[in-house]
């Protein structure tokens, strides 16, 4: 007995179910699985077509057409859903790798002055404001300007303290900025009021000494310059540089090129002069900050100034020392390491 079309599952029913499942599918793998399930060689619609042979010949064309319409509908739905899922994937991928072009960009990182340059500039600004003009001298000096004319003849024991780098007969890397005093007085009659900032060199190297460091020299010569002027200038200078009312203390000392000579202390800027356990001032409350004195007449004799008519004072200050105290830096080598993590803090 020939099977009737009604024994088969109706193609419309199969396709209705398939269309719903296609619409619900969420990725291309499950979509492909549906295609195989319905339209593959052993698929359910394909199977319906194969059943055609068991139908009465009169029913075959109409049934065949219904199966074909169902297949076309499924093909179209598979393609449409496939395209939809492809677009959705692309959108998700774009969103995941999204660049928000409306965000502000990274600006260029501006450079900034090195803490030593900054300290040096501050020192020169303060003294410049007190009438001192900047002079310069050579870093490779001769023995005469670095020692002899500063009242340190060849056999003078004070030379020992200067750990000199010799670069030739009679040539040294200047051990201090004091030779600039001589060079300026040689070419210029009094009165004068100058500072000489620059690099100096000594054979010394640890956490608080560098073989190259910086000093600022000061020199004022005029009629009637006294020790009181020196004290006034230094006190004002130190309070402005440290930007607070630091205590200032003068202790008798010795330099060959000044008489009398002093070492100048400031109240410890780390512990606020309390002393106690402070490691920076070792509990004394004071920090030695510079050397100074009244210009020795023997120095004036070397440059042809008349010590009966003119007097003057001089001082020399270490730039690294001031910067270390001002910014709380405990190792001088940080200044020369070029470490941006250090430098960016200023």
Decide: is 137 part of the binding site for ligand DAH (CB under 6 A): no
| Other residues' Cβ atoms within 10 Å of the Cβ of residue 24 | 10
* 287, containing H or E segment: strand 286-295
Return d(Cα 209, Cα 341) in angstroms, integer.
22
Q: Give the interface segment with ligand DAH, choosing from 33-41, 205-213, 238-246, 286-294 (CB under 6 A).
A: 286-294
Decide: is 221 part of the binding site for ligand DAH (CB under 6 A): no
Q: Give the interface segment with ligand DAH, choosing from 189-197, 206-214, 268-276, 288-296 (CB under 6 A).
A: 288-296
Sole binder of ligand DAH in the list 265, 315, 322, 335 (CB under 6 A): 315
Sole binder of ligand DAH in the list 176, 183, 193, 321 (CB under 6 A): 176
Measured from the CB atom, the residue of 72 and 136 that comes closer to ligand DAH is: 136
Asked if residues 201 and 165 have their Cβ atoms less than 8 Å apart, the reply is: yes
Sole binder of ligand DAH in the list 127, 184, 192, 292 (CB under 6 A): 292
Distances (CA, A) of 297 to 53, 132, 189, 228, 308: 134, 22, 15, 18, 9
- Count of positions on this chain that bind ligand DAH (CB under 6 A): 11
Decide: is 305 part of the binding site for ligand DAH (CB under 6 A): no
Measured from the CB atom, the residue of 67 and 182 that comes closer to ligand DAH is: 182
Measured from the CB atom, the residue of 28 and 203 that comes closer to ligand DAH is: 203
Decide: is 179 part of the binding site for ligand DAH (CB under 6 A): no
Decide: is 312 part of the binding site for ligand DAH (CB under 6 A): no
List the one residue out of 100, 81, 84, 132 whose CA is nearest residue 237.
132
Kindly state the smallest distance separating residue 261's Cβ from ligand DAH, in Å: 6
Decide: is 43 part of the binding site for ligand DAH (CB under 6 A): no
Asked if residues 201 and 173 have their Cβ atoms less than 8 Å apart, the reply is: yes
Asked if residues 122 and 229 have their Cβ atoms less than 8 Å apart, the reply is: no
Return d(Cα 194, Cα 180) in angstroms, integer.
10
Return d(Cα 303, Cα 299) in angstroms, integer.
7
Return d(Cα 30, Cα 345) in angstroms, integer.
59
Decide: is 143 part of the binding site for ligand DAH (CB under 6 A): no
Sole binder of ligand DAH in the list 293, 299, 305, 311 (CB under 6 A): 293
**Site track for ligand DAH across 251-270, x = CB under 6 A:** ----x--x------------
Distances (CA, A) of 222 to 59, 186, 216, 248, 256: 132, 15, 20, 24, 21
Measured from the CB atom, the residue of 255 and 286 that comes closer to ligand DAH is: 255
Distances (CA, A) of 56 to 52, 60, 62: 9, 7, 11
Measured from the CB atom, the residue of 119 and 178 that comes closer to ligand DAH is: 178
Sole binder of ligand DAH in the list 141, 217, 296, 320 (CB under 6 A): 217
Task: Report residue 110 as tokens.
Answer: 């501006």
Sole binder of ligand DAH in the list 55, 314, 322, 324 (CB under 6 A): 314
Task: Report residue 311 as tokens.
Answer: 């007097």
| Residues of the shown chain interacting with ligand DAH in the complex, contacts defined by CB under 6 A | 176, 178, 217, 255, 258, 291-293, 314-316
């Amino acid at each position: 007995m020939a099977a009737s079309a009604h024994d088969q599952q109706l193609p419309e029913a199969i396709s209705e179910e398939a269309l719903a499942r296609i619409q619900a599918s969420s990725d291309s793998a499950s979509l492909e699985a549906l295609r195989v399930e319905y339209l593959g060689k052993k698929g359910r619609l394909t199977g319906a077509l194969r059943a055609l042979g068991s139908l009465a010949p009169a029913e075959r064309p109409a049934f065949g057409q219904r199966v074909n319409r169902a297949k076309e509908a499924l093909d179209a739905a598979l393609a449409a859903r496939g395209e939809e899922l492809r677009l959705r994937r692309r959108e998700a991928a774009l969103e995941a790798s999204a660049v928000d072009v409306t965000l502000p960009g990274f600006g260029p990182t501006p450079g900034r002055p090195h803490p030593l340059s900054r300290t040096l500039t501050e020192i020169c600004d303060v003294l410049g404001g007190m009438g001192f003009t900047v002079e310069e001298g050579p870093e490779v000096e001769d023995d005469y300007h670095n020692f002899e004319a500063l009242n340190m003849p060849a056999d003078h024991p004070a030379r020992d303290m200067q750990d000199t780098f010799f670069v030739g007969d009679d040539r040294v890397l200047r051990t201090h900025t004091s030779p600039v005093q001589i060079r300026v007085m040689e070419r210029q009659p009094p009165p004068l009021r100058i500072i000489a900032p620059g690099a100096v060199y000594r054979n010394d190297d640890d956490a608080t000494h560098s073989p190259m460091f910086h000093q600022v020299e000061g020199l004022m010569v005029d009629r009637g310059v006294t020790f009181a002027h020196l004290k006034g200038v230094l006190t004002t200078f130190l309070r402005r540089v440290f930007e607070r009312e630091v205590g200032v203390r003068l202790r008798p000392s010795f330099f060959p090129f000044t008489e009398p000579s002093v070492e100048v202390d400031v109240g410890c800027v780390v512990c606020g002069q309390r002393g106690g356990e402070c490691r920076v001032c070792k509990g004394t409350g004071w920090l030695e900050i510079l050397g100074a004195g009244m210009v020795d007449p023997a120095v004036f004799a070397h440059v042809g100034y008349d010590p009966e008519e003119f007097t003057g004072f001089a001082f020399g200050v270490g730039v690294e020392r001031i910067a270390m105290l001002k910014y709380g830096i405990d190792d001088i080598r940080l200044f020369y390491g070029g470490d941006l993590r250090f430098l960016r803090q200023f």
